Chains A and B, each alone.
Chain A
Amino acid sequence: MIINLQGRKFSISLESSAAYFLAFLWVLPLIYALWAAFHPAEYATRFELFAPLTLDNFATAWEQAPFARYFLNTFLLVTSILLVQFVLCTLAAYSFARFEFPGKSIAFGLVLIQLMIMPEVLIVENYTTMSNLGLVDSILAIGLPYMASAFGIFLLRQTFKTIPHELEDAAKIEGCSLWQILWKVYVPLARPTYVAFGLVSISYHWNNFLWPLVITNSVTTRPLTVGLAIFGAPESGVDWSIITAGTLLAVAPLLVAFLLFQRQFVQSFMHAGIK
């Protein structure tokens, strides 16, 4: 029995070491990026403990590419998508959760199709649509295909369904209109779901690349990811340290927010995953 216990302890400590090792591997790319970005170029591939620190790489990266404009574009993109998503998904989710009408289950099934056929798959045809609408190379065009999010509709519908009917009935007796009920009963009670969906949406669109690459072709519309890809392309001839500095600049806002509100982020992703 004692041997068994010791064996168990040994296997547990072995497992802990494996866990720490894997965790180390997982942050290694970020650690390297920090190393290269904060040291002069000659130390980018030489690891000496007392290599001098510098901020020059960040300054150079900031000068060599219009990062400020890219930040603005990404900010506009992410907020506009989120706002429209909130409105569209709230209305649709309310309809699915609390209204009975013919064709409802077919409509719901059709909405769920978008979980499978995401805009990434339809870049070819959506590009044609955008050029017919005269929207190529606009921030609006990046956001449009994502605004009616099946994921958001589904998530909010699940939440709305858990809200007791009695609350709605009470509000009706008080003389509240449909909009007031939605705005004063459903939306406030679904706040955790909005936060969860919001964080997932923000991190998705902050990091999204393929469609923005296809639909933009100028500095005034390109989001950070696309700007970064052009900046970091081997043809651009920029050196390692500066590329990693630029990379860190681009990911910094989301990364810092994540480190500060780690628990909230992780719980939001969990919440969004359970449904």
Chain B
Amino acid sequence: MKHASTKHQLYGWLLLLPATLFLLAFTYYPTLATLAKSFFSQGTAIRPAAFVGLENYTFMLEDDVFWQVAWNNVIYALFTIPISIALALMMAIWVNSRLKFKSLARMSFFLPTMLPMIAVANIWLFFYTPEIGLIDQVASVFGIESHNWLGDPDTVLGCIIVITIWKEAGFFMIFYLAALQTLSPELEEAARLEGASRWYYFRRIMFPLLMPTTLFVLINAVINSFKLVDHLFILTKGGPDNASSLLLYYIYEVAFSFLDQAYASTLTVILLAVLAIIAIGQFVFLDKKVHYQ
């Protein structure tokens, strides 16, 4: 078996060929083409696209909307990632414990994963509606005044963040649940006999053992914070005044509403760069054996 025959090698490549063609056409080529396009101007019928060097990038650096959208996206990531991961872990611990009706609880937490974001947004829109919406109805019971949650630049991003957390936490719970089920119950028993508090057990034993899962979930959460924009289409369209717009949504607007593919490509390069940094981070931090063995 040591010397792989030429025929064997050929088969290896041939089996790989169909998938490679698809990846070439719809992942590698568009990635490189995006990069190339970001150095050209937007061509029109009379004026074809011309090489403009870094002009698109200087335009971007002077574009206030870009900075706002980038900042929004940072806030969106900073809130959705830790909160949804913490909730996911808590949910998993509950569902894995001796809680009564735990399969019902598990189903509730997992439910948002099965629902399309667009449908979910339709329902949440009602929650946020001023005066007749559920939040304002509940708030009025406590004498709190009605508020235009989605119309106020100060609250709109928060509303978007809440929905994303609601949507993601149950999905991440599954990975923690799978990891928790591999932990031996004797560990907790032993800790309890030694007089360790539940908090101590969690902090010193359970959480460190769950570290690989946390990293895996973290990577997914980071990617999602740049990818999950569906609800914006229904709830805010990025408004008011771009207060809730995110990078990918802005890319969509620039490309398909303002029809400026060159600038949209430039913005996409930024998004690709962010993802590349995450990929490198993953490669450096994650135990290579976990993923490449």
Contact = CB atoms under 8 A, between A and B. Distances in A.
B27 A113 contact: yes
B9 A123 contact: no
B31 A117 contact: yes
Interface residues of B, number: 93
A144 B126 contact: no
Interface in B120-170: 120, 122-124, 126-127, 132-134, 137, 166, 170
Interface string A90-118: 01101110011110100110111110111
Given A123-B251, A233-B234, A145 B123 contact: no
A228 B122 CA distance: 9
Interface in A29-67: 29-30, 32-33, 36, 44-45
B114 A128 contact: no
A45 B170 CA distance: 28
B89 to A, nearest CB: 13
A63 to B, nearest CB: 18
B16 A92 contact: yes
Contact of B114 (A11, A44, A255, A274): A255
A129 interface: yes
B261 A124 contact: yes
Contact of B117 (A45, A144, A209, A273): A209
Given A23-B109, A99-B15, A117 B248 contact: no
A116 B31 contact: no
Interface stretch (B61-69, B183-191, B200-208, B275-283): B275-283
A152 B195 CA distance: 45
Interface string B55-96: 000000000000000000000000000000001001100100
20 contacts: A27-B108, A30-B123, A45-B132, A88-B22, A92-B15, A104-B12, A108-B292, A118-B223, A121-B248, A122-B30, A123-B251, A127-B255, A129-B30, A148-B18, A209-B233, A210-B229, A214-B252, A247-B122, A250-B119, A269-B113
A116 B278 contact: yes
B15 A95 contact: yes
A265 B114 contact: yes
Interface string A227-254: 0110011000000100110010011001
Contacts of B279: 113, 116
A129 B11 contact: no
Given A95-B15, A266-B106, 14 more contacts: A16-B94, A30-B111, A87-B18, A92-B15, A100-B12, A101-B12, A117-B27, A117-B275, A118-B223, A124-B255, A124-B264, A148-B21, A178-B11, A225-B116
Contacts of A68: none
Given A116-B276, A209-B118, A228-B118, A125 B30 contact: yes
A215 B229 CA distance: 17
A228 B179 CA distance: 37
Given A32-B126, A262-B107, A274-B178, A110 B268 contact: no
With most chain A CB atoms within 10 A of its CB, the pick from B31, B179, B265 is B31
Contact of B261 (A25, A128, A213): A128
B174 A270 contact: yes
Interface in B1-49: 4, 8-13, 15-16, 18-23, 25-31, 33-34, 37
A104 B230 CA distance: 37
B137 A45 contact: yes
A94 B87 CA distance: 38
Contacts of A94: 15
Interface on chain B toward A: helix, strand, loop, or mixed SS? Answer: helix
Interface of A: 8, 11, 15-16, 19-20, 22-27, 29-30, 32-33, 36, 44-45, 87-89, 91-92, 94-96, 99-102, 104, 107-108, 110-114, 116-129, 144-145, 147-148, 150, 153, 178, 203, 206-210, 213-214, 224-226, 228-229, 232-233, 240, 243-244, 247, 250-251, 254-255, 258-259, 262, 265-266, 269-271, 273-274
A124 B127 contact: no
B221 interface: no
Contacts of B105: 19-20, 23
Contacts of B265: 124-125
Contact of B120 (A8, A29, A36, A88): A29
Contact of B113 (A22, A121, A203, A210): A203
A122 B268 contact: yes
A29 B123 contact: yes
B51 interface: no
A184 B104 CA distance: 39
Given A110-B28, A121-B268, A273-B216, A22 B114 contact: no
A2 B26 CA distance: 65
